């Protein structure tokens, strides 16, 4: 199943952190979904990732939509689990071109999420929509969720589970990410943005590394809309990912 790429690459804007982390991630601009919708358009993102509540009230059709069909808050403790909270059909009615689903591989509840994703992927494909899996190894059993072998395992889980694209963390080096991309086979790999990096150059260096390793791009939230100039960061990300520029060139974009 095809995912809407540009030159085989993509920069996706993630905006489900209000559910996942709460408003603590937001500033005076980014709390407002209307601001993020404008950013998605003006920043020429290849897609925007929303929970159904935001899609119902704010999505205006100008950027491809990915509806996250599961999610959880950061409030419960214990083994992570996120169950489906939006049907694939409803995501399609909202205009989504793809659905997103998080699997906490390694959690005591992973089988629930693997089973649910299996059904969601089949439903999505019947409606000609892509299924993107966020594979986040988490829980008591996972000592280091960005260790190279854990990230490669996450990538492979995406392929085995039938994901058209997988979203995984950057494991720290280009070589480690290269192995993860190989393990993902025909499943496209997107790097997950993560918490704001110490500097913009640090973040862009990781993105460059991911693309050099064969990633199709990234899905980014906080490192864009928490930055002083989110549009400038969007330009830099496009320069790196779509135009294949260097970090230095991207910073001047």
Q: Which sequence positions are flagged as catalytic? A: 136, 167
**Which of these ranges, 10-18, 88-96, 155-163, 236-244, lies near ligand FBP under the rule CB under 6 A?**
10-18
Q: Which member of 12, 16, 67, 207 binds ligand FBP (CB under 6 A)?
A: 16
Task: State the Rg of the chain over Cα.
Answer: 17
Q: How far is the CB of 93 from ligand FBP (least distance, A)?
A: 22
Q: What are phi and psi for residue 234, nearest 5 degrees?
A: -60, -40
CA distances from 183 to 48, 88, 191, 216 (A): 26, 27, 14, 14
Terminal Cα distance for the chain, rounded: 32
Verify binding: residue 219, ligand FBP, rule CB under 6 A.
Answer: yes
Q: Which member of 4, 20, 58, 146 binds ligand FBP (CB under 6 A)?
A: 20
Verify binding: residue 33, ligand FBP, rule CB under 6 A.
Answer: no
User: Using CA atoms, how far apart are residues 78 and 7, in angstroms rounded to an integer?
Assistant: 42
Verify binding: residue 53, ligand FBP, rule CB under 6 A.
Answer: no
Residue nearest to ligand FBP (CB): 193
Q: How far is the CB of 184 from ligand FBP (least distance, A)?
A: 17
Q: What count of other Cβ atoms lies within 10 Å of the Cβ of residue 103?
A: 29
Strands 10-14 vs 96-103: parallel, antiparallel or unpaired: unpaired
Q: Which member of 192, 206, 208, 238 binds ligand FBP (CB under 6 A)?
A: 192
**Which of these ranges, 84-92, 146-154, 190-198, 208-216, lies near ligand FBP under the rule CB under 6 A?**
190-198
Q: Kindly tell me the sign of the dihedral angle through the C-alpha atoms of 206, 160, 183, 244.
A: negative
Strand partners, 135: 103
The footprint of ligand FBP (CB under 6 A) covers 14, 16-17, 20-21, 49, 134, 136, 192-194, 219-223
């Amino acid at each position: 199943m095809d995912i809407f790429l540009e030159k085989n690459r993509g920069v996706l804007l993630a905006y489900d952190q209000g559910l996942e982390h709460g408003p603590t991630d937001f500033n005076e601009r980014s709390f407002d979904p209307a601001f993020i919708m404008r950013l998605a358009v003006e920043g020429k993102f290849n897609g925007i990732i929303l929970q159904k509540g935001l899609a119902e009230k704010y999505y205006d059709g100008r950027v491809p939509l990915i509806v996250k069909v599961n999610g959880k808050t950061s409030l419960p403790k214990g083994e992570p689990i996120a169950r489906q909270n939006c049907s694939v059909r409803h995501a399609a009615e909202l205009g989504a071109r793809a659905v997103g689903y998080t699997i906490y591989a390694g959690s005591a509840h992973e089988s629930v999420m693997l089973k649910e994703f299996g059904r969601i992927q089949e439903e999505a494909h019947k409606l000609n929509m892509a299924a993107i899996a966020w594979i986040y190894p988490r829980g008591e059993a996972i000592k280091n969720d960005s260790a190279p072998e854990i990230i490669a395992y996450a990538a492979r889980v995406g392929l085995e589970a039938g994901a058209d694209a997988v979203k995984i963390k950057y494991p720290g080096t280009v070589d480690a990410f290269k192995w993860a991309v190989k393990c993902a086979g025909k499943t496209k790999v997107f790097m997950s943005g993560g918490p704001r990096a110490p500097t913009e150059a640090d973040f862009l260096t990781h993105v460059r590394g991911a693309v050099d390793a064969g990633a199709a791009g990234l899905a980014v939230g906080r490192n864009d809309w928490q930055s002083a100039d989110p549009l400038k960061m969007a330009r830099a990300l496009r320069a790196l990912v779509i135009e294949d520029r260097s970090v230095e060139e991207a910073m001047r974009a």
